[in-house]
Amino acid sequence: MTFAFVSDFDNTITLKDFYTLIIEKYSPPGAADIYERFHRGEVSVLDLLGFVFNNIHKDRFTIMQDILSLPLDSYAADFIRWFVNEVGPFYIVSAGCSYYIEILLEKYGLLGLVTLVANPGYYHDGNIYILPNPNDDIYSPSTGVDKGKVVEGINRQADFTFFAGDSEPDYPAAIAADFAFARENNSLAELMRRNGKKFSPYSSFRSIYEKTREVLFEHSGAHSKVKLSTRYI
């Protein structure tokens, strides 16, 4: 039996959304308003991120320092190394932008270890620009990357797919996966609960690790090639 792990990035692997950091630090004019409209469902997550990232107005070095200051869940990097070495492939799926995600993955030595599916983007003249590809099979107008479609694709390659996320755009991925983790006290967990969907709440990748091991033992059976060690955590 083969297993794959798919995870959201912002506020799942990190402890804060990058766009939240930018709003808190620089309060771009109009950002508070578009954030309220996003929460009322009037604008998409892609509109919100596009607006915030296009209104940073800081030089490349400052933005780089801001990206590098984003805190990671203290167990996330070890969990990813453990999963990739002992269990199967690890995917990061994000409606955010590969520009800042790759910088953080490189900082933690994870860049070549995981498959990243995120909106392409780049730095230019004080801001970050997101460039979703409308011709991509996994394109969604509201998120750029349709996380549900990404998980469906991974389901065709692995017998069993785990997913971890924190917010509404993660919902299609969480229900497409065989086993879903939702950050406790966040909107994905509320949505799953309201719709009667099964999920495991988590507070850190430490709790994800413990539950993942339990699920692997339950599903892998006597013929499993999956071997588990606590070498990394």
Candidates 10, 73, 146, 168; binder of Mg ion (CB under 5 A) is 10
Task: Kindly state whether residue 11 participates in binding Mg ion, applying the rule CB under 5 A.
Answer: yes
CB of 101 to Mg ion, least distance (A): 11
Q: How far apart are CA 162 and CA 15, in angstroms?
A: 20
Question: Measured from the CB atom, is 53 or 216 closer to Mg ion?
Answer: 53
Task: Kindly state whether residue 73 participates in binding Mg ion, applying the rule CB under 5 A.
Answer: no
97, 49 Cβ separation under 8 angstroms: yes
CB of 195 to Mg ion, least distance (A): 18
CB of 145 to Mg ion, least distance (A): 12
Query: What part of residues 99-128 is at the interface with Mg ion (CB under 5 A)?
Result: none
Candidates 3, 8, 23, 121; binder of Mg ion (CB under 5 A) is 8
CA–CA–CA angle 32, 40, 67 (5° rounding): 45
Question: Measured from the CB atom, is 8 or 146 closer to Mg ion?
Answer: 8
CB of 9 to Mg ion, least distance (A): 7
116 beta partners: 92
Task: Kindly state whether residue 14 participates in binding Mg ion, applying the rule CB under 5 A.
Answer: no
Question: Measured from the CB atom, is 34 or 101 closer to Mg ion?
Answer: 101
CA end-to-end span of the chain: 24
The piece of 9-17, 136-144, 183-191, 201-209 that touches Mg ion (CB under 5 A) is 9-17
119, 147 Cβ separation under 8 angstroms: no
CB of 49 to Mg ion, least distance (A): 11
Question: Measured from the CB atom, is 8 or 73 closer to Mg ion?
Answer: 8
Question: Measured from the CB atom, is 11 or 98 closer to Mg ion?
Answer: 11
Q: What binding mask, one character per residue, do residues 161-180 give for Mg ion by CB under 5 A, x or -?
A: -----xx-------------
Question: Measured from the CB atom, is 34 or 216 closer to Mg ion?
Answer: 34
Chain residues binding Mg ion by CB under 5 A are: 8, 10-11, 166-167
